Structures are given as C-alpha cells and as structure tokens.
A and B are shown apart, each in its own frame.
Chain A
Amino acid sequence: MAVDRILKDDASEEKGERARMASFVGAMAIADLVKTTLGPKGMDKILQSTGRGQSVTVTNDGATILKSLHIDNPAAKVLVDISKVQDDEVGDGTTSVVVLAGELLREAEKLVNSKIHPMTIISGYRMAADAARNALLQKVVDNKEDAEKFRSDLMKIAMTTLSSKILSQDKEHFAKLAVDAVMRLKGSTNLEAIQIIKKPGGSLKDSFLDEGFILDKKIGIGQPKRIEDAKILVANTAMDTDKVKIYGARVRVDSMSKVAEIEAAEKQKMREKVQKIIGHGINCFINRQLIYNFPEELFADAGILAIEHADFDGIERLALVTGGEIASTFDNPESVKLGHCKLIEEIMIGEDKLIHFSGCEMGQACTIVLRGASHHVLDEAERSLHDALCVLSQTVNDSRVLLGGGWPEMIMAKDVDELARKTPGKKSLAIEAFSRALLAIPTIIADNAGLDSAELVAQLRAEHHKEECNAGIDVISGSVGDMAALGISEAFKVKQAVLLSATEAAEMILRVDEIISCAPRRREDRM
C-alpha cells in the first residue's frame, strides 16, 4: 500500500511530465512577455504599480520589466534571475538572454515530446554552446591598439545599444556623451563617478555632459556664490546645540538670567564648533544635516560657503570626487582630509539653481545632465544611458567587438549546424535544435519591425554560407544589409554572457523533474 501523504497539508508536489510542463510553460510565458521589446523596433511596456500611488513606468528595458513582475512560477523566476545577473554583470542584453533561454526551452520541449532524454538534450546543448562560443571567438575584432578605431568601435556599440531605447532618435548625441564619460574613467568600471542628474524641461537633445560635479542644493544666504581654488570639508554632523542624549535630562535654575546664561552657553558651543570647522582652513563646508540660522550666519561672516542638507548619496559622491573624507568630529584638523576643487559656482539649469564643482581632484568624475519632457521620459532615458555606460565600461576592459543585427547569431548557428552534421547519435538532434533557437533572435527582431521574418532569415542564411560575410538584418530599410558598413556593433562580452547564461538557465530548468511547493509558514498569532 502506498503511503497516503508524506508532505504537510498545504504543500504540493508535481512530478515528472507535469513538473517539466509547468516549468516550460512558465519560462516561455516570461520570454514571450519581453520578446516584443527586442531590437530597434521593439515596443515599450507600461508597468502599472498596484502599490500606493499607482505609479506608472514606461520602459523597454528587459531587466526593469522582469524585476517588477509578480511571478509564481519557479522556472520563470530562474529566467528573471539570469536577467538580473546579466544586468549586473554587463548591463545590456537583459532581454536577449531571457528570449534565448525561452527559445532553447521551446525547442527542448519538442525534443522531450519526441522521447529524447533531457540529459541527452543537455549534453547536446553544451556541445553546441561551446561550438557557438568558438565561432564567435574566431570572428572577434580587437582594436585596442588603435585609439582612433577603438573610439569609433565604442561609438558604434553605444549607438547600437541606444538604438533599441527611447534615446534612439538622438543616439549619436547620447553615444558621444556616454563614450566621453566612459573614456574619462580611464579603464575603471566604477560608474559611481558618473553622476546622472535628471531635470524635467527642455528636450532630450539639450542633455549634456559636464566635467565636474553638480549638487542639487542651494548656497546659504549671504555667502559667496563663487569660490576659486576651494578647500572643501565634507561632514556629517549635527549643527544645532549639543544635547545631552539622556531622556528626561533637564536643568533647574532659579532665575531668568541663569536661563539666559544657559542659552548663551548653548550659542557659545555652536560658535566653538563653527570656529573649529573654520579652523581647518576651508572655504567651503558641506554638511549632510541641517545647518541652522546661527551657524549659517557665522559661516557667512567668515566668507565660507556652507551647504546644508546634502543627502547621503550627495556627500559620498562629493567626498569621492573631491578626494576628501567625510568628517564628523573636528578636534584634529591635521587628521581630516580636505577635498579640493578649482571652482565652485552657482549655475542655472532650466528653472533651478544648482551648485557646480569643477576641476575636481578626481579627474574621472563627470556629470551627465538629462533633460526631457516628463519624468517618464527622463527615467527611461536614465535607464537607457545606464545600459550604454555599463556596456561601454565593460568594453573598455575587454575590447573585443562583434557585429550586430543578428550577425553573431547567424555565425553561431552556422557553426552549430556543422557540428550537428558531424556528431553521431541523438545528440545531434539537440545540437540542431540549439541552432534553431539561435535563429529565433533575428526572427524576432524582424517580426518586431513588422518585416517578413521567414524570408529575411532565409536570405541571411544563404548570405552566410559565403565566406567572410557581414550580412545582418537592416531593420531601417527592411532588408539584409552589410553590418560593418552600417556601423552596427556589439560587445563580445555581452554576447558571450547571453549565450552562456541562457544555456545554463535552460539546462537547469531541463533537469527539473519534480516541483515541491513548501507549505506556507503559519503565523504564530493566528493560533
């Protein structure tokens, strides 16, 4: 007799065929959801929040869409995770990786239905992925030595990345912004030094790159609005009276003049603190907390520019770019590292006044000011620009470059097909399926652009049978075009990451033959 129940009441389990079915369906649904955002003519999605405020986001970024989804299906969660990892690692290709994994699973489903063991499929996929990677490695171009060419490569990559986003109309402008910003980093991948400020108003074209740092704060009243050769003290300290932090502390006095004396003493303490700060030999003081009227006046009297209430992010970046340290005690002026910059001045962007620090200690620092019609546009522009910056900073380190527009997929598919023919046994079926999955990417790009995908992909395949072919899908004219001539490039690192993580994710989901959902933990108070 079989055991009735092994699992707890609320726990459920799905086995074998059913479990696999559930994972396939979940993963494919996710892939289909983001599929339409792929490529230069991909569409956007509205993300409507059910939380408070019902805020609305319009986006084309795969990672952003997936991150915010409600998902119940475990396999779908795996796909969301690989998209997140792709976002963290290389910044772009977040949609491609999910779509490729989805296609791999779609092909795998067919194979499983025709009674091929999942393990055979997996080993076939592995061989195919290796072959595909080698095919790419043979075709990469590396222009690291030639600065001129390298820069044009970066421009092309940036434009290709941006062409699928909201910035596509002004992609040249933004590609230049992004390349300039990344080149300033001189090889470091620390994107912290690139600050992005969003200011509604104007149009996207009015966005600009600024050398230096911009702080969205006001200068105190009566203080200098312009300081040359600034010595900056960045601090996080309370500028009101030092209070005894014991609850219920109070003083008892017996006359009004004593109260006045205490008040004077409090003022005196504030004054001493300000004197100590001034004693650092600074001419600019930036505090994370409020600076009250009294110290503000003291600073103004000493001709020091004081900025209050700079947020955490603001002072940390400021400390980073000016080379200073965040101080909170001021007793040892010699141990505090001051920040320096050449010029601090007040500038106006749109209707707002901002404080501009130029000639900072850390030369890499720069600010990109984004302008746009509305917050939706600005947020999406920031996401797009962030993608481009990520990809570029990765490319600066790994300068291998591929062509875009479905070209890498065709190259891979061709080599994988060849492998399939050479491989004996059932594995070859899986390898063939892998190549079909690869072809799905150019197909989707063409479909999204409203083109005849079957015709185009067939043409591409024929083209690629020749040696040294640069053919890819030219979405703008709706035909097969020379990708090298059109200047459509992609970073090798992105493609490799897409290929490998999609294969791994597909493999992981394929291996599953049982899903156990645990019983929800009971809340204690419901007893």
Chain B
Amino acid sequence: MAAAATAAAVVPSSSKTETYTDTKRKDDIRQANISAARAVADAVRTSLGPKGLDKMISSASDNSVIITNDGATILNHLNPLQPAAKMLVDLSKSQDSAAGDGTTTVVVVAGSLLRHCSSLLSSGIHPTVISDALHKTSLKAVDILTAMSVPVELSDRESLIKSASTSLNSKVVSQYSSLLAPLAVDAVLSVVDPQKPDLVDLRDIKIVKKLGGTVDDTEMVKGLVFDKKVSHAAGGPTRVENAKIAVIQFQISPPKTDIEQSIIVSDYSQMDRILKEERNYILGMIKKIKATGCNVLLIQKSILRDAVTDLSLHYLAKAKILVVKDVEREDIEFITKTLNCLPIANIEHFRVEKLGHADLVEEVSLGSGEGKVVKITGIKDMGRTTTVLVRGSNQLVLDEADRSLHDALCVVRCLVNKRFLIAGGGAPEIELSRQLGAWSKVLHGMEGFCVKSFAEALEVIPYTLAENAGLNPIAIVTELRNRHAQGEINAGINVRKGQITNILEENVVQPLLVSTSAIMLATECVRMILKIDDIVTVR
C-alpha cells in the first residue's frame, strides 16, 4: 500500500488536464473521509435517547462481552482503521472528558453535519468557506443555547436530580434512575469544597463494584469501602468499634533485605533459635503497634514480600487488631485523605498522631458466599471524599451501572461548573435549528447558504429520538418545528407519551455544558475533516 501511495505521488502534474484529475482525487479523499465518519456515526445512532437500544460488543482478543448504551464506550471498542473515522472516536472521547455525557449526541451531530457538508461540497462551495461558516454557526449556537438556559442553584437538589435522571434514563439501568440520580447528586455535593465551589474532582468519589444483589442495593457510603475480606486466618476480629486506623506501607513479616541474603543453619538448635527470633521479631512489631492503641491496620500491597504471614496474623488476632491487606499504592492517597491520617512507612515512625479514627470498621457480608466487603464508617474529621458501592446481578449489568453512574456524576459535575440547565428531549436542537435558520436569512453570500444547511443538520437529534422511540419521525419533527415557531421554546419530544409536550414540565433537563460542548466539539471535528485534502502514508 505504501508503494502504491508513493507511486501516485510521483506522477507529475504540469499540464492542465492532469491538474483536473488531481483535484478529482482530492474530492475523492474528502468524500471517503466523510463517508467513513458517517458510517461511525450511524453505528451509534440507534443508541440515542431514552428508547435507544444497546449494543453488544464482543472482543475478539479475549472473548469478553460488553453490553452498553454509552457512545464513548462503543466507539472506544470499535477501533476503526480509517483515519477520519478515528477522529470521530477521539471526538467522543473528548466529549467524555469535557462533559462526561452526550457522547452519542456529539457523534450523531458530527455525522449529520458531515452529510450536509458533502452536499454543500458537491454544489461547488470551497471547503474553507464551509469551515468558516461552521465556526460562526457554532458560536451563534452557543449564544442561543445560553439564552435558552435556566440558572440553577446548587441548593436546588430537585433540579440536580432531574438532570441526573435524564442522563440515566437512556441507559440500561434506567429503571433505577430514581435511586441512582439522588445518589449521584449527593455524592458530588458531598465532595464540593466550599472554598473552591466551581471545582469537583471526580477522583474524590470512589466507585466500588461488587457482584451480587441487584442494582437496587447500590448505596452511598460515608466513609470507605474495600472490596476485600478482612484477613483473619486465626479468628481475628471482623468488627471493631471506635477504631484507630493506621495505613502502613511496611510489612508485618520476617525481615527481608534488599541485598540478597541467606541464613546458614548448621545444627538443629540453631534452627530452633531462628524460629524463636522470627517470632520475637514479629511480636516486637505488633507490640509497638498495639502500644499506640491502633486496632485496625490497612497494609499496602508489596511485590517484594508478603504483607502478613500466618504467624503475624495469629499475633495480630490475639492483639485484637483487624487487618486489611493488599491495598493498592494508588489508593493510598484517597484513603489517607478520607481518614485524615498519614501513611506510615516504617515501624519506628508508628505514632499516635498518624492514626485515623472511625466509629466503626466492620466486615459486611453481602448475601452468601464470597461477597464480603470491609466498611469504615463514622470517620472523625473525614476528608471531602465519598464512596459508592455499586451492586449488580451479573458482571455486564455491574459494568454498565458503573458507566451510567459515571455519566450521571459527570452531569452533576457539569452543573457545579456551570450552573445552567437546559431542556432535553430535542427541544434545544430544534430551537437552534429554527433560530439559525432565521439568522441565515440575514447573512450574505455563501455563508447564509451554509448556515441554513447546518440548521437543518441539527434536526437529526429530534429525528433520531423519535425514530428510536418507534414514532413517526417526520410527523414529530414537523409538529415540533411548528410548536417552536409559535414560541414554545421548551416543547420537546416526550418519548414516554409519544407526543410533544413542554419538556421542562416533564422534568427532562440536562446541563447547558453538555449541549454547548457537544456543539463546539462536533463543529471543531467536522472542520478538521473538511480541511483535509490528502492522506499521505508515512513511516
């Protein structure tokens, strides 16, 4: 393929006729890019909206199966080869990182814009003119959307829950939206720092997934949850009240040096002594721990040696100390922040002031069998973090619940960043389309023509929503246009009733940031695809 491309590049083009074929090749490349990108958009189109359907992705490499409705996840697994199609996948990723939700919308909008662009191109308009018009349109569109939006206060919990449930309604777990939406809102609000009210770090919310139960059993825990069992080989405690917790980064096991070492045993009595020494060594450590009043140990995972041995577990159990081992190093920061304690890297540094305090640490068994987690609740001076324990009856549901919850959390975060709400259900898109259409009439030249075409392109969202819900898309979109022309800017598609209603009254709302970032990102991506006139194969 490389050879073919190089050969094509070396063909000289000096005469007039050859220049003609040259431009033809460029058009071909542009059309190829556009159709590849549209194919990607069509792949996710049917998952849009509350009645959108899911996709099953089976991965060839490890035969794993994912069922999802989340645009970003689907595209992430698509792995297209065509460069323009890849750009659309990236587009959905950017929307995921910018707003967290609307990952399907952004790709569908981009696909529709591209379709209209290709008809503009075929009518002989220069790509850069289209690209400039698109840029103007996107700026205007953001203005229109901002004008449509309704401000929201963080204290208005109801509105926040509404927008979170709008996001959840299109997912597999939609029937649990009444449970998950308030949960997402509470989780985000609990980590907002009053000093920096505009910033939410979603890393302060830890999602722990545990198989078993149903999504109904999902709960928010004010404290910490470990998806681990308590290490209690020798009948140690599994429940500690009034806990003094230490996070340690060393191991309670026989000493091991970094330099290679071997103990040479020459007779039986020596062996006896070594065993005794080992016991004393561990006992000494545990005594030091016990002296500070510590009764819960969280031990960081080490690749070099065992965190605990049977022997040390036995002594720890005797000292009534609860042990959780194999805590990942990445989690240490979160844990110390939550417990308001400091990690301890050496037994010599084990001091009372480095401990964290909690009312209760216990191992909770979830249903029967292996399902056990460790919960730490009632933490004194708890940091601004929170944990959500997600349950699900099988791995697929569990994963999808995790993704949906992430989307819902993102939606709430968007509202914290930019405190405006906008109607859902296709209302903003059809209003955009109407106002942009009106605006295009006052523009001059090609620009007006392009803007008009983009205005039409935006109707794809209500059209797809209706189509996915099994309604007659043409009838619905025309009706919707009609209502908006009469000034009902909040009229949208009510998928449940299958008709057009005031969508704000139906509590279908979404954050402004999701809509604006979808429009901005989609246009930016389309402009980039339009400006490409050649694909060069390189090393």
Contact = CB atoms under 8 A, between A and B. Distances in A.
B532 A58 contact: yes
Contact of A263 (B199, B255, B332): B255
**Which A-B residue pairs are the 10 nearest by beta carbons?**
A450-B126, A256-B277, A68-B538, A250-B260, A43-B533, A293-B249, A297-B345, A293-B345, A260-B255, A56-B83
B254 A50 contact: no
Given A202-B98, A254-B266, A263-B257, A70 B202 contact: no
Contacts of B533: 36, 43-45
12 contacts: A45-B532, A50-B538, A70-B2, A221-B343, A243-B259, A252-B263, A254-B265, A262-B261, A297-B349, A348-B201, A373-B525, A375-B90
B263 A259 contact: yes
A351 interface: yes
Interface of B: 1-2, 6, 9-14, 22, 26, 33, 81, 83-84, 86-87, 90-91, 93-94, 97-98, 126-129, 135, 199, 201-203, 249-250, 254-266, 270, 273-274, 277-278, 281, 300, 332-333, 336, 342-346, 349, 520-521, 524-525, 528, 531-539
A377 B9 CA distance: 26
A317 to B, nearest CB: 26
Interface string A486-519: 0000000000000000000000000000000000
Nearest to B249: A293
Given A244-B259, A256-B274, A297-B249, A203 B536 contact: no
Contacts of A70: 2, 6, 537-539
B536 A106 contact: no
Contacts of B345: 292-294, 296-298
B145 to A, nearest CB: 15
A260 B199 CA distance: 48
Contacts of A54: 81
A48 B537 contact: yes
Interface string A283-294: 000000000111
Nearest to B281: A260
A65 interface: yes
Contacts of B201: 348, 351, 353
Interface residues of A, number: 78
A51 B94 contact: no
Contacts of A353: 201
B195 to A, nearest CB: 13
B531 A266 contact: no
Residue of B127, B258, B274, B300 with most partner-chain A CB within 10 A: B258
A49 B534 CA distance: 14
A485 interface: no
Given A293-B345, A297-B344, A256 B259 contact: no
Contacts of B255: 256, 259-260, 262-263
B199 A348 contact: yes
A33 B250 CA distance: 61
A248 B259 CA distance: 10
Contacts of B270: 254-255
Interface string A43-72: 111111111001010101000010011111
B536 A221 contact: no
Contacts of B273: 255
B261 A293 contact: no
Interface in A242-276: 243-244, 248-260, 262-263, 266-267
